[in-house]
Amino acid sequence: MTRPTANPRRAVPAVDKVLAALVPVALPRPMVVAIVREVLATLRRAQSVPGFEEVVQQVQRSLQDAGRARLCSVINGTGIIIHTNLGRAPLSPAALRGINEAAGYCNLEMDLTDGKRGGRAAHVERCLALLCGAEAAAVVNNCAAALVLALRHYTAAKPEVIISRGELVQIGGGFRIPEILAASGAVLREVGTTNRTTLEDYSRALGPKTGLLLQVHRSNFFMEGFVASPGTAELAALAKKKRVPFVVDLGSGAPCDTDGWAGEHEPTPAEVIKQGATLVCFSGDKLLGGPQAGVIVGSARHVAALKREPFFRALRCDKLVLAAMQGTVEEHLSGNHAANPVQAMLSADVISLRRRARRIVKSLAGLSLKVSVGEGRAQAGGGTLPRVQIPSVTVSCESAGVAGLLRAARTPVIGYVAGNRFHIDLRTVFPSQDRALIAAFREVLNRETIQKPITHEE
């Protein structure tokens, strides 16, 4: 094959001519036209125009790249259950049914008993309050929004927020507690040191300018060694004595005990409420396994005051989120935690994962690259339970470029490379995706080899 020659004097082809030569793609026509123009403009600037066929191929590649930016379903083989880049929590069928029902008209703000205007989110708030053993609940767009709402509310009259230096943390991309505080107009009053803060430190800092006492859960890291800080109950008692609101930013929001499978205790919103927090906020799409949302639970008076803030209007959730939240929370409230994909993945047993892995590997025998069963370590992810590594099972092969190829498959597969090998952790792959996973391997590794399709016995 000869290299396509680039000729500086050759003119770029006409847009229409290129458009006519393209293989159809699933992108809106104006976007296709814009991409053709961009590619041609780049070639014109470079003053090096390849032959027509090569121009068309370049355009086709750009179209393919643009098409990959469309939101689409992927197979998560990373072993990270709550993966922010992959959309955090996968929703449960109950949440999906909720979305489906609410998508058309729904009783979002109508009381069906009297036909008058009803409270938006009234039912889901009631469920959340029950789940967390709190008097009341409110739902906003995410946990960051919940925290900003609380900070703005309590610091309007008294600007100072008291927080331990050990909790001035960064949660994820663009979420740093000191910056959130500054953006909310609060004045940061740091107490203690990075590794040690005492109740006395808090007590000394409390004064007439204190708007609230804030505790931020160290959800995504842990400290060991010469460390100490007062417990939530102690802080709650101090705040109560000094008549200052006590807000806990919990983040993770575990709906049930994690000790059983994780061997590690993650505080639940219900526990923190019981320990005396005025308000607790947590994410909807972490351990709760729901849609992106920020949940605030706590005293009825305080929750109502937050909801009266004009700023609350800017943070309110749409009907689809509320419907997904309703399905998610009703399930947890009924004790049916295992129906939630996050909980199901966290507690899936290794034996069944291995059985699936063997079946997948068997049906991939004879490909150009040998695929085998391996051991893996899955994680909860989403900045939760950072210490917990869950034994898992992988489908693995030599790494040579496989990661990129599988990302480009019809159903993109995302795995990870470790020890010179490419791995797919099956804990985060839905059993219903096993076929698509096999198809993706076949598509990219060896199109000629056809094995008989696997059948699921479960």
- Applying CB under 6 A, the residues found at the interface with ligand PLP are 142-144, 171, 175, 216-217, 219, 249, 251-252, 283, 294, 383
- For residue 100, the minimal CB distance to ligand PLP (Å) is 24
**C-alpha–C-alpha distance, residues 347 and 156, integer Å:** 44
CB nearer ligand PLP, residue 245 or residue 294 = 294
Residue 125: CB minimum distance to ligand PLP, A: 17
CB-CB contact of 211 with 181 (8 Å): no
- Which C-beta is closer to ligand PLP: that of 129 or that of 143? 143
Dihedral sign from CA coordinates of 128, 132, 137, 138: negative
- The nearest distance, CB 356 to ligand PLP, in angstroms, is 31
| Residue nearest ligand PLP, CB atom distance | 251
CB of 192 to ligand PLP, least distance (A): 18
Instruction: Calculate the CA dihedral of residues 117, 120, 124, 130 and round it to 10 degrees.
Output: -80
Q: Which residue has the tokens 């996050």?
A: 342
Residue where the block lists tokens 């590649």: 61
Residue 164 or 219 with smaller CB distance to ligand PLP: 219
| Dihedral sign computed on CA atoms, order 359, 360, 363, 365 | negative
Helix (H) or strand (E) holding 94: helix 93-102
Using CA atoms, how far apart are residues 126 and 285, in angstroms rounded to an integer?
Answer: 19
Of residues 160 and 249, the one with the C-beta less far from ligand PLP: 249
**Sole residue written with tokens 């008291």:** 162
Half-sphere exposure in the Cβ direction for 124 (13 Å, CA): 30
In the bound state with ligand PLP, the residue whose beta carbon lies nearer, of 249 and 434, is: 249
Q: Which two tokens stand for residue 393?
A: 């099972």
- Token readout for 80 is 């990270």
- φ/ψ region of 153 (left if φ > 0, alpha if ψ in -120 to 50, else beta) reads alpha
Tokens linked to 259? 């000790």
Compute the least distance from the CB of residue 383 to ligand PLP, in Å. 5
Q: How far apart, in whole angstroms, are the C-alpha atoms of residue 346 and residue 381?
A: 11
Residue 92 contacts residue 340 (beta carbons within 8 Å) = yes
Minimum separation from the CB atom of position 28 to ligand PLP (A): 31
CB 194 to ligand PLP: min, Å: 17
Give the integer Cα–Cα distance in Å for 224 and 220.
14
Q: Which is nearer to ligand PLP, 294 or 298 (CB)?
A: 294
What CA–CA distance (Å, rounded) separates 246 from 230?
A: 13
Half-sphere exposure of 247 toward its Cβ, with a 13 Å CA cutoff? 28
Output the smallest distance, CB 274 to ligand PLP, in A. 19
Instruction: Report the residue number, 272 or 395, with the smaller CB distance to ligand PLP.
Output: 272
Question: Residues with Cβ < 8 Å from 308, sequence gap 6 or more?
Answer: none
Instruction: Extract the tokens encoding 269.
Output: 């919103």
**The two structure tokens encoding residue 251:** 């983040």
* Closer CB to ligand PLP, 142 or 343, in the complex: 142
Closest separation in Å from C-beta 293 to ligand PLP: 7
Which residue's CB is nearer to ligand PLP, number 99 or number 247?
A: 247
Output 256 or 293, the one with its CB closest to ligand PLP. Answer: 293
Nearer to ligand PLP, 266 or 331 (CB): 266
User: What is the closest distance, in whole angstroms, from the C-beta atom of residue 142 to ligand PLP in the complex?
Assistant: 3
Residues 6+ apart with CB under 8 A from 203: 238, 242
Rounded least distance, CB 392 to ligand PLP, Å: 23
